[in-house]
Chains A and B, each alone.
Chain A
Amino acid sequence: MKSLSEQSFYEILEIRRSATPEEVRRAYERARALFGPGSLASYTLLAPDEAEVLHLRIEEARSVLLDPQARATYDERLPAEGEWKGRPAAAFQTAKTPVAQDAQSPRTSWPAIPGVDFHPPEGTTWTGDLIRQAREARGLSILQVSERTKVQRSYIGNVEAERFDQLPRAVYLRGIVLSIASALRLDGEKVARSYMERATGAGAPAKGR
């Protein structure tokens, strides 16, 4: 594990070198929420001087990676090790088998998904059925999606069948849909937004607050 000052801006924000400006922006927001001043999750986790270095690096990463010229210059000088090789932070639940894992193996992201790409037209309403179609287009079973996302199988089935009364409340449901969509390589935010409109519109216990 590299120290903060050795990590590239991509590693600091945990994004690929091919990340779009939009992805950079989102990663920056995420990093700031997690490690920025006032963050509850990382409160006292880091020593004050370390936390300060991290804040600076996060801000620096944003300003360089969002400036096309500065980014091009930075990329030119960046060695191959500067590529972020981590796995994406799980959106809902990071539960994994608690038995020994091979800590040696590099933390790879999900294996490439076979199957065709699934791109419904812009503005499509993401129904449960459409999510099912996207999953099947990827050639994935509910079990496989469950393994990737750590979301219970029954929840995935209920999301697809839109059995809102058998799903958790909005706060959690949104995370579940986000996880499923991300595992299907869809734009999670977009899918979750569209799906949640239907879910909360349906009245059911999936009410936010």
Chain B
Amino acid sequence: MAELPQLRLVTPPTADGSATRRPSTARRGMRPGRIVSVGGGKGGVGKSLVAASLGIELARRGCRVVLVDCDLGGANLHTSLGIDPPRRTLSEFVNHSVERIEEILVPTGIPNLSLVSGALDHLDAASPSHGQKMRLIRHLQSMEADFAILDLAAGTQKNTLDFFLLADHKVLVLAPEHSAVENAHRFVKAAFWRRLRAASSIFGVANLLDEFLDGGRFRGPAEVLDAIQGADEEAGRQLREQMAAFRPGLVVNQVRTPEDAELGPGVAAAWRRHFGIDMDVLGAVEYDDDVWRAARERRPLLLARSESRASRSLVRIASVIQELDALAETGR
């Protein structure tokens, strides 16, 4: 199946505690870069704000960060960063005008932070072919940076799901409103099935999965995994191991009340309870007029209003991501 390379298999830590890393970086003898994807299904919930803020904060802490605008049809991450639409964009990479993704990095004026703009001039480039997408993914995974942060488009388009799935940190942004929650649920379901399908092909149980799904008698992921394991113990076990790494991290934006702040844990509990899928609650961002004030000034929130409540929430989320990394690193 042609879709496979995007799926980074999870390797349990070896006896000496070291997990298998991407070979390119292992050879260079450095810590591999982490990919953070920021998605959420619905537009306007604050994906770009979260992506830009995480980028700025991690860069301020001395990490080399590349922000990648993966909203190929409606790229505007540069605006969140307060810079003009860059001349160099993913167009050049997608059209093979440049060899390496590093060649289209544009500086952001913030030390350690650069941007790959998704603003595309050609309409057809907004939906790259499979080959173009896979090349982009390969380059993202081997980029020389501590963090690549992908700002995803709204919706559940295949490319968007794939960019979400390839990340080490799958950040899901939602707001305390019904349409945002609905889209977040839809997004997670779509992403989960896409990953399960790809993993099933690897372990040779794709037919089994189709058979079960066509039967239509399954309620959710946990039941399907049970059924596959019942039919093929070894494949089912490996599939489970892979799917355990499907672990979105929730960020609830625009929190106005204590009840709003409970939405993250609530959504995580509902998913665990009903589908057996674990999520991390990365944090909540308080509703804050400073967010639009900074946007109106065309300056990044963290720089324009560093003491605002929203800024402080976002800084904490950056800490949580680093803590999760530290945990993964020690193989706990």
Contact = CB atoms under 8 A, between A and B. Distances in A.
Contacts of A46: 274
B223 A1 contact: yes
Nearest to B276: A1
A41 B267 contact: yes
A94 B270 contact: no
A22 B253 CA distance: 34
Contact of A41 (B241, B249, B263, B324): B263
Interface stretch (B67-75, B121-129, B180-188): B180-188
B244 interface: yes
Interface residues of A, number: 39
Contacts of A126: none
A55 B174 CA distance: 25
Q: Looking at B242, B269, B282, B320, which has the most chain A CB atoms within 10 Å of its CB?
A: B269
A168 interface: yes
Interface residues of B, number: 61
A91 B319 CA distance: 19
Interface string A104-127: 100000000000000000000000
Interface of B: 10-13, 19, 168-169, 176-178, 181-182, 185-186, 219-220, 222-223, 226, 237, 240-245, 247, 249, 257-258, 261-263, 265-274, 276, 278-284, 309, 316, 319-320, 323-324, 327-328, 331-332
29 contacts: A1-B276, A33-B266, A40-B178, A40-B263, A41-B262, A41-B266, A43-B178, A43-B181, A43-B185, A45-B185, A45-B270, A93-B280, A94-B265, A94-B268, A94-B280, A97-B328, A97-B331, A98-B168, A98-B328, A99-B331, A100-B242, A101-B244, A102-B244, A103-B243, A104-B240, A172-B261, A175-B265, A208-B258, A209-B257
Given A34-B270, A94-B272, 15 more contacts: A1-B220, A1-B223, A89-B273, A92-B265, A94-B268, A94-B279, A94-B281, A95-B323, A96-B327, A97-B331, A99-B19, A99-B328, A100-B10, A175-B261, A175-B265
Interface of A: 1, 3, 14, 33-35, 39-46, 50, 89-104, 152, 168-169, 171-172, 175, 208-209
